[in-house]
Amino acid sequence: MTRSYRKNTLRTFKSTASRFAAVFAIVALGVGFLAGLNATPIDMKESMERYMDDGNFYDLRIVSTLGLTDEDVDALRQVEGVRQVQPGYSADLLVEVDGDTVVSRVHSLPAPENNTINQLNLVEGRLPEKPGECVIEASYTKKQSTYTVGTKLVVDKANEDLDTKLSTTEYTVVGIVHNANYFSFEREPASVGNGTVKLMFYIPQQDFAYEAYTEVYLTAEGALEQDSLGDAYQTNIDTVKANVEAIADARCEARYDGIIADARAELDDAWAEYNDAKADADQQLADAAAELADGKRQLADGQKEVDDGERQYADGLNELTSNEALLNDGAAQLADAEAQLKDAEAQLQAGEDELAANAPKLEAARKQLEDGQAQYEAGLKQYNDGLAQIETAEKQLADAKAQLDANADAYQQGIAAFAEKLGVDAAQVDAFIGWLAQNCDANGTQPPQTVEELWQAIQNYGGLTIPAGLTQEQVDAIRAQANDLLAAIDEIPADTLPEEQQQRLQEARTYIAAVADAADPAAMQTALQNAVDWARQFAPELPDDIRDKLNAAVEAWWASLPEDSKAQLEELVSGVGQLTQYRLGLLQYEQGAAQLAAARAELEANAPKLATAKAQLDDGWKQYYDGLAQYEDGKSSWRLRPAGGWLGHPAGQKGADGQCPPPDRRRQRPAERRPQKAG
């Protein structure tokens, strides 16, 4: 390149510097934009891959028109290449939300253990803890602002076969979640309504009523480490898919055979019911045919009686015709007899009316006596049963009292040994053990099992003091350490902490201040024990720096407690349990004795009532049988009445033998009703 050419080139750059800069900027912008376009797909793919891996997104989803059973799930777990198997339920439903009907899809919540397939990421609220609670997919709340925590979801009863899908139809939204299964903003197609899902929610598995799973999710071995858009991943998944399809025919046939077997069993049961009903119907028809034949026989017998009666009537009519002359002679006598008959019938009717009026009263009295007899016998049985139960309980109480008496000396010796080890009065120990027994009985708890529990019980009781063993030098060192902790707590800006941490920090300051303010070794020992107990339970909730300092101090404080006091408590833990069990038995014996005495008193108070009821019942039966005898006597006194009126004949007719013919009319007496003796 010649010198003049270089000068010319430089002169051109200088004269067109702005254009050169513009061209350079355009080229740089284009290169940057192209580089961004080339990097964007990679970043998007990596973001999606990381999102899917974090949610443990499934590799294969297994569905079946006949449903999937636990045996199918076990078979899938045995398939080569399968890493995880997770069964679940789902359904497309119409759901009412604030008066609107929404096309929804409901899934069962994944199992709570680690490495769950399609893990839920809680955005707001909490996960369901009981039936009737649900969480909503967050992507759907962006499209419908009314779907918030606290929203009520009511499954429409118009859903087909709802009772075979869900056992609960009303839900409360308690949380909002993300799920890798629904990362797209595109709406899911549905099998109900307008075909587009507008609401996605998750409920506990026990809220579903399906007999079989609707879907099973699988993950493949090695798939988590592979690129989901790469050929290696696709080859891996195709291999696992082929392995799954290899068992599909056998599992489908097993499921089909199971359903057919169940259907055949139901059909056999239905045929058995049909055959039983048919046998009953055939028996009823046979019984009806027998009754019909018997009725025909009775009809034939009745017809024979009618024929005999007609023949007797014809014979009597002939006899009546021959005796018409005799009838004319007795016409006057007949008139007198009819007058007397009317008077007698009037008296008879009055007597029968009186008997008819008294019969219901007598029957009602008998019914009342039978009811009273049943009540008395039930009360007597209840009394005898109660007496037997009381006698059994008294024997059990006597056995318990004998056992308590046999252990009384051992209890007193244990109290004395407890008091001697602690250097306190035996009466104080006895009172403490009694207090422990009452607390265990009232709360249904066990006696202290560890040194910490025994120490806490002694502190709660407050009436039993264990001699302190700290030196003044230890007290001063612990007080200095407590003051350092207080200074560290005061340096923390409390208003920057969550409210719960502020509360725990204030509680820690209170316990540490009690240690710093202890005036003597005994008070220091009590304050130390309280601070150690609190720190072991709540120290993890404090800010990190204070938590570490407090844990170090707690270990030092616990180590500084007198070894002889801790050793004494460790030796006494098992003994306290035995002593408390004895006092528990004594307390339960006293309670049982009091309850038994009250029950016997109540039973003895009811005994006179039973005797009174028995006497009243006997007197009632006596009055009833007296009335029954009067009723029978009254009926007997009217049984000798005339059988009926006389048949009138035209004047001038008499019978050939001069006798009055039998009557053709009869007054029927009411059927006799004789009450049966009760008992």
**Same structural domain, 16 and 73:** no
- Looking at the structure of the chain, the number of domains it has is 3
* Whole-number pLDDT of residue 522: 66
Q: In terms of domains, do 138 and 83 share one?
A: yes
CA distances from 209 to 86, 90, 102, 132, 665 (A): 18, 11, 21, 14, 78
**159 and 39, same structural domain?**
no
Pair 449, 577: CB distance under 8 Å: yes
pTM, to two decimals:
0.40
In a shared domain, residues 81 and 21: no
pLDDT at 60: 92
Q: Is residue 155 part of a domain?
A: yes
CA pair distance 10, 480, nearest whole angstrom: 82
Which residue reads 């006799």 in tokens?
A: 672
pLDDT averaged over every residue in the chain: 78
Q: Are 120 and 202 in contact (CB under 8 A)?
A: yes
- pLDDT tens string 539-571: 777 777 777 777 777 777 666 665 545 555 555
Going by pLDDT thresholds of 50, 70 and 90, the confidence category of residue 209 is: very high
Query: What is the mean pLDDT of the segment spanning 571-583?
Result: 70
Contact 532, 455 (CB under 8 A): no
Q: Which residues pair with 86 in a beta bridge?
A: 217
Separation CA 140–CA 136 (nearest Å)? 8
Say whether pLDDT at 587 is over 90. Answer: no
Dist CA 521 CA 529 (whole Å): 12
123 and 16 belong to one structural domain? no
Distance CA 465, CA 423 (A): 9
pLDDT for the residue numbered 128 = 94
Residue 253 lies in a domain: no
Q: What is the pLDDT of residues 97-149, one digit of tens each?
A: 988 899 999 999 976 654 588 888 899 999 999 999 999 988 766 655 568 89
Local confidence band at 396 (pLDDT 50, 70, 90 cut-offs): confident
Q: Is a pLDDT exceeding 90 seen at residue 330?
A: no
What is the residue range of 17's domain? 3-44
Phi-psi region of 81 (alpha: psi -120 to 50; beta: other; left: phi over 0): left
CB 81, CB 220: distance < 8 Å: yes
- At residue 295, the pLDDT reads 82
Query: 610-641, pLDDT tens digit by residue?
Result: 788 878 888 888 888 887 787 777 767 655 44
Q: What is the mean pLDDT of residues 398-410?
A: 75
| Judgement on whether residues 119 and 197 belong to the same structural domain of the protein | yes
Per-residue model confidence (pLDDT) at position 380: 80
Phi then psi for 30, rounded to 5 degrees?
Answer: -65, -40
Higher-confidence position of 313 and 103: 103
- What stretches of 109-166 adopt beta strand conformation (E)? 120-125, 133-137, 152-155
Specify the 3-state DSSP secondary structure of 57.
coil
Q: Say which residue, 62 or 263, is predicted with more confidence.
A: 62
Q: CB count, 10 Å around CB of 241?
A: 17
Alpha carbon separation from 81 to 76, 221, 250 (Å, rounded) = 10, 5, 19
500 within a domain of the structure (yes/no): yes
Residue 40, SS3 per DSSP:
helix
Q: Over the range 478-493, which residues count as b (16 or more CB within 10 Å of their CB) and which as e?
A: bbebbeebbeebeebe
* Mean local confidence (pLDDT), 343-360: 73
pLDDT score recorded for residue 667:
37
Indicate the pLDDT class of residue 676, thresholds 50, 70 and 90: very low
Residue range 161-168: mean pLDDT, rounded: 91
User: Is the pLDDT reported for residue 660 higher than 50?
Assistant: no
For residue 679, the model assigns a pLDDT of 34
pLDDT of residue 633: 76
Contact 442, 499 (CB under 8 A): no
CA-to-CA separations, 455 to 162, 434, 450, 528, in angstroms, rounded: 58, 16, 9, 12
Residue range 484-508, pLDDT digits in tens:
888 877 878 877 778 887 788 788 8
**Which of the two residues, 236 and 418, has the higher pLDDT score?**
236
List CB contacts of 178: < 8 A, sequence separation 6 or more.
Answer: 55, 120, 121, 123, 137, 138, 139
Residue whose structure tokens are 């304050």: 527
166 part of a folded domain: yes
Q: Of 203, 225, 247, which residue is a domain's last? A: 225
DSSP 494-514: GGGS-HHHHHHHHHHHHHHHH
544 and 490 co-located in one domain = yes
Residue 39 structure tokens: 């990097």
Cα–Cα distances in Å, from 349 out to 141, 346, 354, 523, 628? 93, 5, 9, 108, 20
**Is position 537 within any domain?**
yes
pLDDT of 668 higher than 60: no
Do 35 and 171 reside in the same domain of the chain?
Answer: no
Q: How far apart are CA 622 and CA 313, in angstroms?
A: 51
DSSP 8-state symbol, 151: -
Q: Which residues, 6 or more positions from 582, have their beta carbon under 8 angstroms from its beta carbon?
A: 404, 407, 410, 411, 414
312, amino acid identity: Q
341 domain-assigned: no
Q: Would you say residue 251 has pLDDT above 80?
A: yes
High-pLDDT (> 70) share of the chain, %: 82
pLDDT value of position 666 = 37
Residue 534 makes CB contacts below 8 A (sequence gap 6+) with: 507, 508, 511
Res 333 pLDDT > 60: yes
Q: What is the DSSP letter of 467?
A: P
**459 CB-side CA count, 13 A:** 17
Q: What is the model's pLDDT at position 334?
A: 72
Which one is predicted more confidently, 653 or 566? 566
Burial of 63 (0-12, 13-18, 19+ CB in 10 A): exposed
Q: Residue 281's pLDDT band (boundaries 50, 70, 90)?
A: confident
* Amino acid, single-letter form, for residue 549: K
**Is residue 77 a part of any domain in this protein?**
yes
Tell me if 311 is assigned to some domain: no
The pLDDT of residue 631:
75
Same domain, 104 and 24: no
CA distances from 477 to 176, 221, 471, 579 (A): 53, 60, 10, 38
Check whether 478 has a pLDDT greater than 60: yes
Residue with the two structure tokens 């030796």: 571
Same domain flag for 30 and 65: no
Mean pLDDT of 256-280: 85
Same domain (yes/no): 185, 149: yes
Helix (H, G, I), strand (E, B) or coil at 636: helix
Q: Which residue, of 529, 561, 593, is where some domain finishes?
A: 561
SS3 68: strand
The string of DSSP codes covering 234-275 is HHHHHHHHHHHHHHHHHHHHHHHHHHHHHHHHHHHHHHHHHH
Q: Which is nearest to 61 in space by CA: 177, 166, 181?
A: 181
* pLDDT for the residue numbered 1: 56
Q: Pick the more confident residue, 197 or 665.
A: 197
Are residue 146 and residue 208 in the same domain, yes or no?
Answer: yes
User: Do 637 and 296 touch, CB atoms closer than 8 A?
Assistant: no
Half-sphere exposure of residue 112, counting CA atoms within 13 Å on the CB side? Answer: 6
pLDDT of residue 655: 42
What is the reported pLDDT for 519?
A: 72
